[in-house]
Chain A
Amino acid sequence: MIEWLTKDWLSITVPVVVFLSFFVVAIWARRTVYSYLNNLLSKTKWEEREIFLQAIRHPIFQWCIILGAYSAVQISALSSYGKALAGSIAGSAFVVSLIWTTISLAEKLLRIYLNKIKTPSLLPANLIINVLRITFVVSGVLILLDIWIISTTPLVLIITIALLVVILASRDEILNIFSGFELARSSLIKTGDYIKLESGEEGYVSDITLRNVQIKASGGRIVLVPNSKLAKTTITAYRKPLKKATQPFHFHTQLYIKELTGLKTKNLPELISILKDVPDSVVYYHTHSFIEEYHYLTPQPANEFALWVSDVIGNEILAEKLSNIDTFEFSSISGLRERIIAVVNEELSLRGEGRMAFEGREFHFIKSVSVVLPTQYIAHDLREFVEALRKVSMNSLYYHIFESRLRLQKGINDFSIWLQDSLNERELSDKIAALDPYNYTLEGVRSLIIQLIEGRIK
């Protein structure tokens, strides 16, 4: 041992000295390089410089130590095999340290940057960081294999095939993600926008994620639209913020069945005699049944009294007078009933009772029994209201326009009441209230109201 020390001391001492030198340099470098970089980065006002410096402070020391060890081995008296082995170990240690440092730094920086993006839910940080980790780890493994002179071709092949399989299996998801990035980049839609898709879905955007856009549709339904679908379809976005109603409008619908009163008449005196005493539902039925039953006709036939007087009694003058009674003038059925009776009485005093109806063609007094049901459509503002109005059934429209106004004796249609009371839209309310719905088909009424509201929210 002593002999070996006296004879080959240099072969030990020199590598040790070299390693110790690198150790000293490492201590110096950690401090100097840190100070230098700190000064340099201070000038750039880069906010994340402290994170960067902290992240590389210890690795610089580690890398110097690894370099020292590698250099010491290379000048040592070890065999070439030993040197090569030590070189591979040092290289591997460096790669592991470098990958670890990079991942750690990238993760910290990414979290900060992703938090600064205005639509954080669209870009899930964990997903991106995991992808980054996998990418760096795979790259590191490939480099390590190369250092240890192991063929990387099979692994690259396996990774490529696996990637292809994953891409094929989740192509829709990938499309959604790319479309999501595009949505975020272009800022086409934002949370709170009211959007309408070509396919019919519509509502307020309540959330935007990497995969889909969440729409809060009428009636509180949540509709999830994949981002890839959004990228392909035509979107109408209404960004103007609309006033919220103090109370939402619940659309109802009305369905009715005909109940026979058992009363019938063959002539005019009997007609008014019975008409005086029948329930309001009877007068309502005979003056309104045409609106629903013949809603597709323009012009619609007049009330059933006028039609019977014309077709069966053959008194065209009286039929014209009855047809000309303007139902819109009346806010109660009793007023309407009195007018009909007055018109028939006037005719009776002028021209007598006229002819009798043939058997089988008597006037049967029928009443309308209505069943009122809530629908799924609820509106909190004008945009939701107009979009629901496009979709509700004729029966719903009829209920809010005709039945509420006259039969329920509100004196005004439900839409106008809501616009004024819950949205303070007095002008719009008045315009809709002034529309005489008896002059239009139900579809015509719907179009006119939609036009008025569209004009207001444009």
Chain B
Amino acid sequence: MEREIVHHPRAKIQDYASVVGASAIEDLRALAEKLSGKAIQNINSTFTGGGVAEILARMVPLLNQLGVDAKWTTIKGNDEFFGVTKKFHNALHGRAEHISSEDLSLFLEVNKKNAEELEFEGGIIFVHDPQPVALVAKKKECGEKWIWRCHIDVSKPDRKVWEFVRNFVVDYDAAVFSAPNFTQQLPIRQFLISPSIDPLSDKNKEISSEVIDSVLGKYGLDKGKPIIAQISRFDYLKDPVGVIQAFEMVRKSIDCQLVLAGGAATDDPESEKVLEESRDRASNNPDIHILPIPPGSDIEINALQRASAVILQKSIKEGFGLTVTEAMWKGKPVVASAVGGIQLQVKNKFTGLLCHSIEGAAYSIKRLLSNPEYADYLGKNAREHVRQNFLITRHLKDYLLLFISLYYPSDIIYL
């Protein structure tokens, strides 16, 4: 059941001092010291694949380097169980799903079996997402504090599924959400911890102009023409056709090119359809480049973002929007829809421009392309905003503060 964690050759905690300053790392060490003697056990459903596994693979080793006794365990389940949890996931996102009473029984049965077999070692049990949520049944026997980390937007869920999940959530000591508008009313403490990006990962690290040029050459992009890019998977919610329409409005007065790049999810038949529609809408316009990028092409994504003059994220609905964070970290001016977690990142006219329509997006892009100094001002602010609020070091700090604050009821804690 408990498999070995694959330790990736990732950056060490001290490597981040050059990015966020030595004092930020000192703060982390000071906080970590206060957790001496407390073990933290993270529990989720998989070691590989998905955003949760990705963030835990980075966070747990960094917590260990800070001296925190953090562990990572996964639950065991068969394909049938994960089929049910996939339906849970969609239903909590608000999508209509048929979930039978057998599905609910299976969910409970697998959680119960895991609860019996798992070794709960932590003083703090940190359960991620709905799959293992029912493990809280062991709360009376194990662990001092139980936290449920919800990585998804449950603001408009299927009521039946939410009520089912909520029955377990209320038994936790605290819940954690990524954005204020992803939450539900709960009788327990709720904390707000935004996701983060790793500035030293392939997707975000500094790369040479030679690498950028080679990627531009590979995809036939004109180095001398401003690039407007939206980096997102091909999904109706990312409105790629709206992006093309906005670009066409801009292109009438400014010579530029559009890059629509992203992964085409193999398990999502809708993705292929969106890709085809986008190609049709582009109508062989040589200035529009639709680039399905294979998974794992982090350096290429990095290069495309860095080569762009403006990054667009014209989503109709959005989770937190980490592609926006990535662009901001690269000092790029961003034009993004005022939806989901984007609003936490883009403060209109300070760290980017928010839009509410295709016309609004086109107008903002034109303002940025014709005012490079203004674009530069927004880009610099955006980078500093991410440095302060959306890097993995801030994420670590929030987790450490969360663990500490669970032991104190007051709003000001003196350590």
A positions within 8 Å CB-CB of B: 253, 255-260, 262, 264, 279-281, 292-297, 301, 307, 311, 360-362, 364, 366-373, 375, 391-395, 407-408
Contacts and interface: CB of A to CB of B under 8 A. Distances in A.
A38 B402 CA distance: 86
B100 to A, nearest CB: 31
B413 A253 contact: no
B191 A257 contact: yes
Contact of A364 (B26, B180, B348): B180
A294 B350 CA distance: 9
A61 to B, nearest CB: 73
B183 A260 contact: yes
B57 to A, nearest CB: 23
A370 B412 CA distance: 5
B23 interface: yes
Contacts of B402: 257
Contacts of B343: 361
Given A253-B27, A371-B415, A297 B381 contact: yes
B21 A260 contact: no
Given A301-B350, A311-B348, A371-B405, A262 B190 contact: yes
A257 B34 CA distance: 16
A372 B181 contact: no
- Chain B interface size range: 35 or more
A311 B413 CA distance: 34
Nearest to A300: B350
B329 to A, nearest CB: 14
Contacts of A360: 155, 181, 339-340
Given A257-B193, A294-B385, A373-B31, A264 B180 contact: yes
A427 to B, nearest CB: 31
Contacts of A375: 26, 30
A279 B411 contact: yes
B192 A259 contact: yes
B186 interface: yes
A369 B186 CA distance: 18
B385 A260 contact: no
Contact of B350 (A258, A295, A297, A368): A297
Contact of B186 (A262, A311, A373, A393): A262
B389 A293 contact: yes
A375 B24 CA distance: 12
A309 to B, nearest CB: 13
Given A294-B347, A297-B381, A360-B181, A408 B30 contact: no
Nearest to A259: B191
Contact of B180 (A296, A366, A395): A366
B397 interface: yes
B384 interface: yes
8 contacts: A301-B350, A369-B412, A369-B413, A372-B414, A373-B31, A375-B30, A407-B412, A408-B412
B27 A369 contact: no
A294 to B, nearest CB: 7
B367 interface: no
A262 B183 contact: yes
A307 B177 CA distance: 23
A370 B24 CA distance: 16
Nearest to B184: A262
A170 to B, nearest CB: 34
Given A259-B189, A362-B181, A371-B413, A393 B27 contact: yes
Query: Which interface residue of A255, A293, A361, A368 has the most chain B CB atoms within 10 A?
Result: A255
B388 A257 contact: no
Interface in B285-339: 338-339
Contacts of B185: 262
Given A256-B401, A280-B411, A311-B354, 15 more contacts: A255-B31, A259-B190, A259-B405, A260-B177, A360-B181, A368-B411, A371-B415, A373-B34, A373-B415, A391-B23, A393-B23, A393-B26, A393-B27, A395-B27, A407-B412
B232 to A, nearest CB: 19
B242 to A, nearest CB: 18
